[in-house]
Structure 1
Amino acid sequence: MTSSLTVVGQNHEPATIGGIVGAPPSARAEALVARAVTGPGAESVTMAAPFTGLRTAVLPQASDALTRAAFARARRAQPSWAATDVTQRQRILLRLHKLVLDRQREGLDLVQIESGKARLDAFDEISATALVADYYGRHSARLLAPRRAPGALPLLTRATHTRHPRGVVGIISPWNYPLALTAMDVLPALAAGNTVVQKPDNQTALSALWLRELADEAGLPTDAWQIVLGRGSVIGDAIVEESDYVCFTGSTPTGKRLASAIAGRLTGYSLELGGKNPMIVLPDADVAKAAAGAVTACFSSAGQLCVSVERIYVHDSIRDHFLAEFARRTRALRLGASLDYHADMGSLTTEEQLRAVSAHVADARDHGATVVTGGEPRPDIGPLFFEPTILTNVPERAAVFAEETFGPVVSVYGYTDVDEAVGKANETVFGLNASVWSRDTRRAREIAARLKAGTVNVNEGYAATFGTVGVPMGGMKDSGVGRRNGAEGLLKYTESQSIAVQRGLRLRPARGVPPALWTAALTAGLRVLRRLPGR
């Protein structure tokens, strides 16, 4: 199977961005690293590019004390930032939107070099970042504006619902989508008037630091957004203990441990965690379109996307046709390590992911699963490449059946009726994303509503909901708590406060008025209020 996959970018020197791919680190990389929090005696780690294994940057690692100092600076800066008119905060985001699009070539190079993904997948991050900046740059003032509510007594009770920033938000970001997820979490927190201390993953820290640099240029105050680099085992306690709200994206086990630690402080949090996302292909689906959509849904960013599809359920009447078309299109994917748009799929990002993916495929084989295509690492292309892989006949005892792979591996199953497919799709501890394919979009929407997932796409794998920033995104069950994007993605970073002013008539009987008479009059009034419009 390996020989049928096209390889691009071989036998060529790797492209570089000012030398970042090679060693020693370039001045450009050092300029970005200088924006991270550091101090005397800080330890450092050296990071490598997935495409080549060559050094990308030497990163200072914050200590517990340095991290707490960053929070102290953020706390001092927060009142001034919160007092900045929300329309001014919006203008900064809109300037950032322009800068991201204008400077996208460097951003694309950085994302590819640090994560190993193909350039088109890297552009998904540029576009998502721009969409988020634009959405909150245009809608934050409206979403945060005080709301009038009907008072207890018409004309006499004036009630207002207001929003206040929480204070300092701690954000822990993953390595797989370093630009998009940074933007989705950091920008609304800032728009709401909070300051932010972010810990991106070391592997993709330069991408987050690049966005921070553009935010500086857009006019963001220096201490409003600070980036600390380090391991969670060293600085995790400081983030939990110093934050007024914590936003985390990562694995379900880590998220559960983090939630337990946060609970003791009674502060808010949101968690986007793991997924084992299903795709249901109905018998009336356009097979060619569904197969093409499955290639994107399963193998974008080499499957290292929290909302990517790892399980496909195809009606038995079209299963063989779909599988043949899906396998054909998968074998046609071009694998490569070049900083251009020639490769369709890039590399895995870390050695840990390569081991995990290899172990899942090997275990599936051992349990009798069939490898339709792929199934092998490709060190001839780069140290962390793994072929896009389709499995069938996967038994329940195989690890890949229920566990998240987070790589370019998908299992295809048949079904006989829709209720069976829905049941199988929901038969998981996860509930992050799902996909339904049919020519009858009304029926597909009805089925989508039955799936226990935070986002469901019809005739798309994940991009329709991922790119629609105005609607919330997040998981059910073990896939997380809370949402990003949309109004919820902004308002979660605020404290809700209700203020009511009472005039004239009191809400208790005046002296000398018998309680029985008062309650009878109030009962009559409540009956009248029930019939008033707008209540």
Structure 2
Amino acid sequence: MTTTATAPQATVDTVETVPSFVMDAWWTPDAGSSASAVPVRDASTGEVLAKVSTEGLDLAAVVEYGRTTGQTELGKLTFHQRALKLKELAQYLNARREHFYNFSFQTGATKIDSMVDIDGGIGVLFTFGSKGRRELPNSQVVVDGPMEVLSKDGCFAGEHIYTRIPGVAVQINAFNFPVWGMLEKFAPAFLAGVPTIVKPATPTGYVAAAVVKAIVESNILPKGSLQLISGSVRGLLDVLDYRDLVAFTGSASTAKSLKSHPNVVEGGVRFTSETDSLNAAILGPDAVEGTPEFDAFVKSVVTEMTVKAGQKCTAIRRAIVPQELVPAVSAAIGKRIAERVVLGDPRGEGVTMGALASVEQLEDVRAAVQSMLDAGGELAYGTLDSPSVTSADGTTGVVDGGAFMAPVVLNWDNPEAEAIHSLEAFGPVSSVIGYKDLADAVRLAARGGGSLVASVCTNDPEAARELVTGIAAHHGRVLMLNREDARSSTGHGSPVPHLVHGGPGRAGGGEELGGIRSVLHHMQRTAIQGSPNMLTAVTGVWHTGADRNFTVETEGAHPFRKHLSTLRIGDAVRSDLRQVTLEDISAFANSTGDTFYAHTNQEAAEANPFFPGIVAHGYLLLSWAAGLFVEPAPGPVLANYGLENARFLTPVAAGDSIRVTLTAKKITPRETDEYGEVAWDAVLTNQNDEIVATYDVLTLVEK
């Protein structure tokens, strides 16, 4: 049955205002302010859902609340404690996904689109909850690199540390991912200990507000750590300064306007942006029809055109293929769209692609495509006419007020046409253009002026090497797609929290995500200088040259007899000397099978410029060192789980002696277990006090 559907008519006066959550309370404008309110509509039906306004909101007070209450409350927590709250929040939101899907459907997002947005955002929380505990100390300071000795006597040294910025992180998000866009910025800021003020885009901000409502109801986050502004934030940059950070996702024109604000240009406000991106996918010369790479390429292009109706900053806008394959690739893309894409209301049965976010967005995309057609593009598939779509009730027809657009594939006789490499139609639109050789493909990809992501689809390692090294500096991420990873790949357009999301040039020049890198974006790196004792006091990590407490000598207690509650940084033990004999070296060589000539052949060893003759195995020395420092009886030390940074510096010959000095270097209690990790600084010296070896011993110790 074919019909023309008309949306129910609601007005701004008859719907509620999307609330803001500021200063730990829900806020809406005073009654009577609807004249300035912006209506928000259902993308599929055109029905007015809500209104958005921030008239009367005191933005300076919002910022100050974050800088004071938010900073204070987050400052009470260590990295591990914040990470656990992210995990707890992820579990809470994960149990409520279906509730959020109902809001997401109104934006034109299908169930799959909603999963990418909502499940993807929750997944970011899980990832940072895990990485924060694995990769950060259970403290509030991150040490960046080794200590640099700055004086001959070792009493003056320096190193770098990261501490959180003292302001707020203002996060301005785009309309296409109201949940993921919010949580992918919030998670690293929270883990760093920096309060967030999130400003979602107006057309879909009600979805972000629904998630924030659940977050508030969970009562998991400290006060002031998350505030939501639903509506205009004009004037917000006026009240920011060098203490604050702005993370923007959206159009390049808006980013340019924000970056030109005096408080950014002169006032030191940190600004990072993720903007327009004419991403490319390159098909290798080997990936002809019938190969798995050809099929994977076509599937990837269609996926990127239709997920979120192509409204993705990472979508493939330019499919760059061998010029002789342009007709075949275009036809295969069109065929897959025709076979698999059902356009309509996401609440309708069988719908696989929804509407654009708004009628205004639809008009912008159609205008961009028309400009590309005027510049020499040709329709290889699709139309700019209003399509027939499936409604929520299963009927089909043109929907008045719905923001629906059919997928469009463009071909170009001239791959050099400026419009291909400068105009972005932010919807289900992609161009297929031909290249002559690999160097030409690299050049065409680079004409995007800097992009978030590119794909290289080939099973030829040499082609992959040439293409990736050629385009890498123009992109923030490159996916190499072939028959080996096509099934397990997360896809061209799916940023993962472990890796950097961002790109140079047109893409904004910023970085988001990237694991702990994105946490450090919210922190200040500072060079600190002082004595080893002062560096130890500031960082909570023992430094060479700082005081040691030889507990056996001063307290009669071996440090391995101490629980975490009594063990202190700098607690140490020093062993007696043990002599190494030729028989010891030979026995170790025979029992292990390590008969390297330096341990078994006097003449060959002497000929080696590094050895005086037969020398002890490094691993023999490490084994002996364990015997010299270990406390054998059962006690707080539960296990040895590794060594780090082992270096052998001075050879030990038969007749030499060694001793070990072991110092508690770093103590990391686990928040959820009755034990923690202790890193011990181990130094092996010989009878002349020359350093033989250095390394860190890692143990698990009861609290």
Fold conserved between structures, TM > 0.5? yes
CA distance in 1, matches of 2:296, 2:43: 32
Amino acid at match of 2:516: A
Q: Size of the alignment, in residue pairs?
A: 494
Change over 3 Å in CA distance of 1:276–1:83 after alignment to 2: same
| Counterpart check, 1:179 vs 2:179 | yes
Work out whether residues 163 and 495 of structure 1, in 8 Å CA contact, stay in contact via their aligned partners in 2: yes
CA distance in 1, matches of 2:462, 2:105: 39
Change over 3 Å in CA distance of 1:13–1:197 after alignment to 2: same
Question: Which structure dedicates a bigger proportion of its chain to helix?
Answer: 1
Which consecutive residues of structure 1, in runs of 5 or more, have no partner in the other structure?
1-6, 505-527
Change over 3 Å in CA distance of 1:32–1:343 after alignment to 2: farther
Which residue of structure 1 aligns with residue 95 of structure 2? Answer: 102
| Counterpart check, 1:391 vs 2:410 | yes
CA distance in 2, matches of 1:30, 1:173: 17
Residues 246-265 of structure 1 mapped to structure 2, 5 A cutoff: 246-261=246-261, 262-265=264-267
Tell me the alpha carbon deviations over residues 267-318 of structure 1, each in whole angstroms, 9 at most, x when there is no partner. 2121111111111111222322211111012222111111101111111343
Change over 3 Å in CA distance of 1:47–1:282 after alignment to 2: same
- Normalising by structure 1, what TM-score? 0.83
The counterpart of 1:491, out of the listed 490, 496, 520, is: 520
Amino acid at match of 1:407: G
Q: Which moved more, 1:378-387 or 1:172-181?
A: 378-387
Residues 85-164 of structure 1 mapped to structure 2, 5 A cutoff: 85-113=78-106, 115-141=107-133, 142-143=135-136, 145-147=141-143, 149-152=146-149, 153=151, 156-157=155-156, 159-164=158-163
Which residue of structure 2 aligns with residue 370 of structure 1? Answer: 378
Work out whether residues 103 and 207 of structure 2, in 8 Å CA contact, stay in contact via their aligned partners in 1: yes
Amino acid at match of 1:120: I
Which residue of structure 2 aligns with residue 70 of structure 1? Answer: 62
The counterpart of 1:416, out of the listed 436, 441, 453, is: 436
CA distance in 2, matches of 1:102, 1:533: 49
| Counterpart check, 1:338 vs 2:346 | yes
**Deviation, structure 1 residue 21:** 13
SS at match of 2:92: helix
CA distance in 1, matches of 2:44, 2:237: 33
**Deviation, structure 1 residue 161:** 3.2
**Deviation, structure 1 residue 194:** 0.9
Tell me the alpha carbon deviations over residues 323-353 of structure 1, each in whole angstroms, 9 at most, x when there is no partner. 2211101222111103367322111112222
Which residue of structure 1 aligns with residue 197 of structure 2? Answer: 197
Residues 165-314 of structure 1 mapped to structure 2, 5 A cutoff: 165-166=164-165, 167-216=167-216, 217=218, 219-232=220-233, 234-238=234-238, 240=240, 244-261=244-261, 262-285=264-287, 286-314=293-321
Which consecutive residues of structure 2, in runs of 5 or more, have no partner in the other structure?
288-292, 390-398, 534-649, 651-692, 696-703
CA distance in 1, matches of 2:271, 2:21: 29
- Normalising by structure 2, what TM-score? 0.64
- After superposition, the CA RMSD in angstroms is 3.4
CA distance in 2, matches of 1:247, 1:220: 21
CA distance in 2, matches of 1:157, 1:149: 14
SS at match of 1:484: strand
Amino acid at match of 1:498: A
Which residue of structure 2 aligns with residue 439 of structure 1? Answer: 459
The counterpart of 1:454, out of the listed 456, 461, 476, is: 476
Which residue of structure 2 aligns with residue 84 of structure 1? Answer: 77
CA distance in 1, matches of 2:58, 2:147: 48
SS at match of 1:79: helix
Change over 3 Å in CA distance of 1:45–1:173 after alignment to 2: same
CA distance in 2, matches of 1:364, 1:191: 44
CA distance in 2, matches of 1:487, 1:290: 32
Change over 3 Å in CA distance of 1:183–1:341 after alignment to 2: farther
CA distance in 2, matches of 1:67, 1:402: 36
CA distance in 2, matches of 1:137, 1:370: 48
**Deviation, structure 1 residue 439:** 2.1
Deviating beyond 6 angstroms after TM superposition, the runs of 4 or more aligned structure 1 residues are: 9-14, 20-23, 29-35
**Deviation, structure 1 residue 458:** 1.7
**Deviation, structure 1 residue 24:** 5.7
Work out whether residues 241 and 268 of structure 2, in 8 Å CA contact, stay in contact via their aligned partners in 1: no
CA distance in 2, matches of 1:322, 1:57: 43
Tell me the alpha carbon deviations over residues 222-267 of structure 1, each in whole angstroms, 9 at most, x when there is no partner. 42211112225x3443465596111111111211221221122112
**Deviation, structure 1 residue 97:** 1.3
Identity %: 23
Work out whether residues 47 and 55 of structure 1, in 8 Å CA contact, stay in contact via their aligned partners in 2: yes
CA distance in 2, matches of 1:390, 1:236: 40
